Structure 1
């Protein structure tokens, strides 16, 4: 029987759109200078420095993985991309929330099938992520670390912590934290850290 693997997810560094409160989705917004400098001062937590590195192909995630990996190879996969927010990409969430005609919902009212206009639902993101998880179970190496996006980590939380996008999420996804799970041979995941995650360290 295949032994469970350790897998951790990390949110990418900060971009200009993050600071401006804009929804990024599939839009390829790079890290800003301050975000790069901050990442340059961090190192991965003990026990994760040799994990196989994966990333979304979007520049903000790929570059975060490259900076933290200190030159180690990074495997990119489009299945790790952020949820597609369709017509809302580039918009500010606060402005959409204030406009009753936008159809915007807060996270605890989504359910699996909520979809921004022209975008993607959490269920659709889950389906592509599960395909990637299945491939990792068949690959080499016991430990894997994926630099991704907040929407991807929300789906990981839903699968690993038992949440269905209704009601408050079981944890607050923060930057500079790993959210660790165990990955079983069937591609299923289970939480393997507390709600605060595992902090990155200062170099």
Structure 2
């Protein structure tokens, strides 16, 4: 069995994206620019006809709505962003400066990087594996509007990347990324950086 295709798209920009702040579970809405960007996107064929899923966070839900105003996406909490706990609202540069070796050591843990009160990429990968297993069992391709750390976790699931060092593939955060879901919860990368059409 070759698995079932699914595409993942990061939500359109927020003001916190512009400020490089860690958003995590903080429910930041799209900025005015983000609304305009999401409204300009058109999904390429055949992805525009696939089932729609999204994270419960407003920035992902709104992006999904703007992609196809006539359809209501299925909200799945497993697609939520990774929680950055006490570090949400701060920038990586600020954390490196204020926490020094403590933060640098945390960064070096890769899949076991876990902010105070937050969750690790390994935990995110576990819930995404469950979601992928459900997609494979349904036998219907899907689109998920989600978040940066979620897409990085899908990439780690697909490639074995341990999240130390550079990503094995450079991802464009305003493009689609295609994977295949398998019934055992593992995923394989089909194609990164698929262009969105523009309205």
Name the TM-score, length of structure 1 as normaliser. 0.91
Structure 2 residue runs without a partner (length 5+): none
Q: Show the counterpart of 1:56.
A: 55
Counterpart residue number, 1:145: 143
Residue aligning to 1:176? 174
Question: What's the C-alpha RMSD, in Å, of the aligned pairs?
Answer: 1.9
1:71: how far off?
1.8
Q: How much does 1:140 deviate?
A: 5.0
CA distance 1:108–1:92, change in 2 (3 Å)? closer
Q: Are the counterparts in 1 of residues 158 and 187 from structure 2 also a CA contact under 8 Å? A: yes
Equivalent positions of 1:26-45 (< 5 A) are 26-45=25-44
- CA–CA separation in structure 2 for the residues paired with 1:201 and 1:108: 35
Alpha carbons 2:124, 2:150 under 8 Å: kept: yes
What CA distance in whole angstroms lies between the structure 2 residues aligned with 1:189 and 1:20?
Answer: 32
Q: Structure 1 residue 162: deviation in Å?
A: 2.5
Q: Which runs of 5+ in 1 are unaligned?
A: none
- What is the CA distance between 1:93 and its match in structure 2? 1.7
TM-score (ref. length: structure 2): 0.93
Per residue, is there more helix in 1 or in 2?
2
Question: Are the counterparts in 2 of residues 53 and 144 from structure 1 also a CA contact under 8 Å?
Answer: yes
> Is residue 108–residue 169 contact of structure 1 (8 Å, CA) maintained in 2?
no
